Structure formats: structure tokens, C-alpha cells
Amino acid sequence: KQEVTQIPAALSVPEGENLVLNCSFTDSAIYNLQWFRQDPGKGLTSLLLIQSSQREQTSGRLNASLDKSSGRSTLYIAASQPGDSATYLCAVVGNQFYFGTGTSLTVIP
């Protein structure tokens, strides 16, 4: 069974810092990997989708990479802002959708 782990579970950084969130998965047979943002009590917002054949995707200050062979993905956030504070979830799509445990990010003004 696919297991998705995110490290760290929580992260607090001062505004302006660049940061990296990590996601690892145990089964490399995936279709794609998605990164989501979830604000407290809210639904999910899709940030980036990486197909299994791709290595990375970029959107604004966000860059996500995928190394399928090692079962790892990273989400890089440049020049963090207080508005980036949220929980970030990665999810891999194999024969079903598997979510990571999330990283709670706090950006301090």
C-alpha cells in the first residue's frame, strides 16, 4: 500500500525566507503528484500538478520537483509571505489518491 510522508510536520519561518517542504512516497508507480494548500477549515486549493514523466513544475514563487525513482518530491517556496501560512499537502495518484500528512507552515511577519 502506498504511504506518503511529509517532513517537517510544522515549520515556522520569518517573512522573506525561502523554504522547502518535503514529500516522500513508497511506491514509485504513480500517475502524477499534486501539491495542495489548505487553509484552516477550508477546502483544498491545487497548487501544482506534476505528471509522472515530468521532473518539475513552476507557478509564480512555487516550484515543485519530482524524483519518482527515489520516491521524493519537494515544494520550494521563494520569498515567503505571511499569506503563505497554511497547511500544505502532497498527494500521489496511483490506483487511488493518497494524501500525505501535511506540513503546517507559519510565516511570521
Partner 1 sequence: GAVVSQHPSRVICKSGTSVKIECRSLDFQATTMFWYRQFPKQSLMLMATSNEGSKATYEQGVEKDKFLINHASLTLSTLTVTSAHPEDSSFYICSARARGGERDGYTFGSGTRLTVV
- Residues near partner 1 (CB under 8 A): 31-32, 34, 36, 41-46, 49, 51, 89, 93, 96-97, 99-102
Nearer to partner 1, 80 or 88 (CB): 88
CB of 82 to partner 1, least distance (A): 22
Nearer to partner 1, 19 or 44 (CB): 44
CA distances from 38 to 75, 83, 86 (A): 15, 12, 6
CB of 15 to partner 1, least distance (A): 25
CB of 74 to partner 1, least distance (A): 18
DSSP-based three-state secondary structure for 78: coil
Q: Which amino acid is at 65?
A: S
Scored b (16 or more CB within 10 A) or e, 6-24 reads beeeebebeeeeebebebb
Please tell me the distance from the alpha carbon of residue 54 to that of residue 23, in angstroms, as a whole number.
16
CB of 97 to partner 1, least distance (A): 6
Nearer to partner 1, 71 or 102 (CB): 102
Altogether, the residues listed in the chain come to a count of 109
